[in-house]
Copies of this chain bind each other. A is one copy, B any other.
Amino acid sequence: MIVDCAAYEGGRRREGELSMERAGEAAGEEGTFVWLGVVEPSEEEFKAVAAEFGLHELAVEDAVRAHQRPKVEAYGETIHVVVKPARYVDPDEVIEVGELSIFVAPDFVITVRHGDANLAAVRERLEGRSDLLEKGTGAVLYAIVDHVVDRYMEAVHGFDEDVREVELQVFGEGANPTERIYKLEREVLEFQAAALPLGEALEELCSGNFAVVPETLHEYFRDVEDHLRRVNGRIENFRQLLDSALEANLTQVSMRQNEDMRKISAWVAIAVVPTMIAGIYGMNFEHMPELEWSFGYPTVLGLILAVCAFLYWRFKRAGWL
């Protein structure tokens, strides 16, 4: 499904939407390029686009199937860039990873979107920057990748908060955070699978091998690359923190087990004493002088209470209760 198709000329958008056929023509004009946006196309839909713009058979298959790694692949003059936009859904603590296939040639950009990445906003912002648009199709690629990496940063903030919450859970009272830690680790790994290989792709884009990324854009791509490195640094950081949190959590569980055991034992000890003393005065010897004393019973009761109180005080002092 085509969602937006326009021609750009001299840093400005030409009036009106283009049909696909008109787009092909417009792309052929000198000093003009076309940006065609497609969303989750069927194989037939996209084959038509591919035929119009001369895309490679393999790239088409990959763009439709959408199970790619981030990468840059050159097919002649056209380059095929795959990026994976990510969004952190905080209440569920889940990272949602989409896929964007971008075909960039000197005279056209085709963006194929799977999942929700707000390219309309990118287009709008870029249309306000004619200095960038003048640099050609590479600028469109830059704007998209910049947007994706900015979204990564937001996802990083989302993770950051949850990792801090998990830490509070590990070292505070409350529910066992093991499952949460594990699930977060899973999501972090998925995020990393989306973000890490993009670095390599960005490096390639700055290598000067691709005509569609002129040297005046290298600084821009290097800037994005730098932000991406920060993202990847933070992701690695999360993994290490969650690893340590998992181990610290195990220790805390053991600690709490020990505390419970001590508390239980202390109460058992306090309960064992009356039973023991009562057992002794429950013996049936004929000659047990205490049994005949008038104050034997209250004395023994008092003794029991005193011993229990003493034990309670000792355990309290030792931190077992």
Contact = CB atoms under 8 A, between A and B. Distances in A.
Interface of A: 56, 58, 62, 67-69, 71, 73, 75, 167, 170-171, 176, 178-179, 181-182, 185-186, 189, 193, 197, 219-220, 222-223, 226, 229-230, 233, 237, 240-241, 243-258, 260-262, 264-265, 267-269, 271-276, 278-288, 290-297, 300-301, 304
Nearest to A179: B171
A244 B247 contact: no
B182 A248 contact: yes
Given A219-B58, A276-B271, A281-B285, A251 B245 contact: no
Contacts of A75: 219
Contact of A280 (B71, B262, B278, B286): B278
Given A68-B230, A281-B285, A287-B296, A167 B182 contact: yes
Nearest to A273: B271
Copies of this polypeptide in the complex:
5
Given A269-B264, A283-B278, A285-B281, A249 B246 contact: no
Contacts of A176: 251, 255
B297 A285 contact: yes
B279 A274 contact: yes
B257 A258 contact: yes
B272 A269 contact: no
* Residue among A75, A246, A279, A290 with max Cβ neighbours from chain B (10 Å): A279
A269 B269 contact: no
Nearest to A252: B178
Contacts of A229: 69, 197
B296 A178 contact: no
Contact of A247 (B170, B237, B246): B246
Contact of A284 (B67, B220, B281): B281
Contacts of A279: 274-275, 278-279, 282
